Amino acid sequence: MDCIFCRIAAGEIPADVVARGEGALAFRDLNPQAPTHVLVIPRHHVPSAGHLTDAERAPVLGELMRLAVEVAAQLGLADQGYRLVVNTGANGGQTVDHLHVHLLGGRQMRWPPG
Ligand code: DGP
């Protein structure tokens, strides 16, 4: 298995896990871009949001978002707000080809993003 996030999901590579869902896992980003930066991934490999085109796979993103919102509340971000980001493909800035939702919080976010 050469996918780093699949290896984290399998417990082969350590990660600072903050929550587990039935089909999803949330852990802290190695290179945080905000005081709180968590990644939420599906346990099963999906390369990107662009691969969620069929009806069977589309609910995966809903599960990731649900867990991200739960983690945001758990980590005390709900009142001040936070940002959920899904970088998709090269122009989207995706560097790890395993679908993930970034949960960023703890500071004021800017718009437009870089
Ligand atoms: P993206 O650029 O959207 O594909 O985000 C990938 C993120 O994954 C990036 O913020 C850094 C993070 N990352 C890469 N490798 C690891 C790792 O081995 N462990 C953890 N916790 N995060 C990683």
Mean pLDDT of the chain: 96
Pocket of ligand 1, candidates 29, 38, 102: which has the most ligand atoms within 8 Å of its Cβ, to mutate? Answer: 29
Contact 58, 107 (CB under 8 A): no
pTM of the entire predicted model:
0.97
Predicted confidence at residue 1, as pLDDT, reads 66
For ligand 1, atom 13, which residue shows the shortest CA distance? 30
**H or E segment to which residue 28 belongs:** strand 24-28
Domain boundaries, the chain: 4-105
For ligand 1, atom 14, which residue shows the shortest CA distance? 30
Predicted confidence at residue 21, as pLDDT, reads 94
Strand order in the sheet with 36-42: 17-20, 24-28, 36-42, 101-105, 82-85
Within a 10 A sphere around the Cβ of 36, how many other Cβ atoms? 19
Q: Which CATH superfamily is domain 4-105 in?
A: HIT-like (3.30.428.10)
- Separation CA 58–CA 109 (nearest Å): 28
